Amino acid sequence: MVRALHDLRRARRELTGRLAFVPTMGALHPGHLALVAAGQARADHVAASIFVNPLQFGAHEDFSRYPRQERLDHSMLQAAEVALTWVPQAEDLYPDGFATRIEVGGLGERWEGAARPGHFAGVATVVAKLLIAVAPDVALFGEKDFQQLAVIRRLVRDLALPVEIVGVPTVREEDGLALSSRNAYLSAEERARAAALPRALAEAAQAIGGGLPVEEALAEGRAGLRQAGFERIDYFALVDSASLEPLDEPSGDMRLIAAATIGSTRLLDNLPL
């Protein structure tokens, strides 16, 4: 495990061959390890980072209470045979006077961008810095944060960064709930009711595939979430997979995307159609 940027660069030079990279915010779970496994299938070595990025949290979000378990995370990465783990310090990534932000227009403005202003500027800025520092051949991101994946792909394309971006399918619990570090916030009762989110997406997908008008299927999905106890639904929408523009009727490669809050925990999920 290395922390300082100069130690990262030294360790990176010692890794010959193709390198895969898995950036994380820690609190690792089997979804992260699926990213590592996907990287191992595509490269000679895998590097990972653990960094809770303050730039992507809003003023009233959960930065201070975001789960941190560095020692356990490092042990999990070692057991998964990750060759290099980088735990950067905030002052290394954002030194005094740091004033640069990367904005990804269009893709970053709807959905999460509207619900969490400034979020994707924080994501794009830190991902660009991590990719430049690690210099991997391929970087892997989970499809659970589907809009984030789209934003990162656009970032890499627009800046001509020499790295392949690979999306890895969402890993789920037995009842369908997408694995997420934030699931740790759920009480036992909330955890049981949270499975309504993937269920609503699956039912909407089935309804749309069966010919029900899109808006009716989406309205039924939102109603199901409210009945299950989700207090706020930021969006529950059918979108084009590439542009993330909303669709009023089925067309091409599509995703159902959703963000909703149960108790104090905001959950994201999506499903391809």
Looking only at the bridges linking them, the beta strands covering 265-272 and 254-262 are antiparallel
Q: What is the pLDDT of residue 20?
A: 98
Structural tokens at position 142:
């989970």
Q: What is the pLDDT of residue 148?
A: 98
Chain region(s) in the chain for CATH 3.40.50.620: 5-168
CA-based radius of gyration for the chain: 19
Chain region(s) in the chain for CATH 3.30.1300.10: 181-272
Residues with pLDDT less than 70, the chain? none
Q: What is the pLDDT of residue 137?
A: 98
Phi-psi region at 228: left, alpha or beta (left = phi > 0; alpha = psi -120 to 50): alpha
Q: What is the pLDDT of residue 59?
A: 86
Q: Which pTM was predicted?
A: 0.95
pLDDT 10s digits, 85-128: 999 999 999 999 999 999 999 999 999 999 999 999 999 999 99
Q: What is the pLDDT of residue 22?
A: 98
| DSSP state letters, 217-271 | HHHHHHHHHHHHT--EEEEEEEEETTT--B-SS--SSEEEEEEEEETTEEEEEEE
Length of the chain: 273
Strands (E), the chain: 19-24, 45-50, 84-86, 138-142, 164-168, 232-240, 254-262, 265-272
Q: Which fold has domain 5-168?
A: Rossmann fold (3.40.50)
What are the catalytic residues? 32
Q: Using CA atoms, how far apart are residues 217 and 28, in angstroms rounded to an integer?
A: 34
181-272 to CATH, choices 3.30.1360.10, 3.40.640.10, 3.30.1360.120, 3.30.1300.10: 3.30.1300.10
Q: Using CA atoms, how far apart are residues 192 and 64, in angstroms rounded to an integer?
A: 26
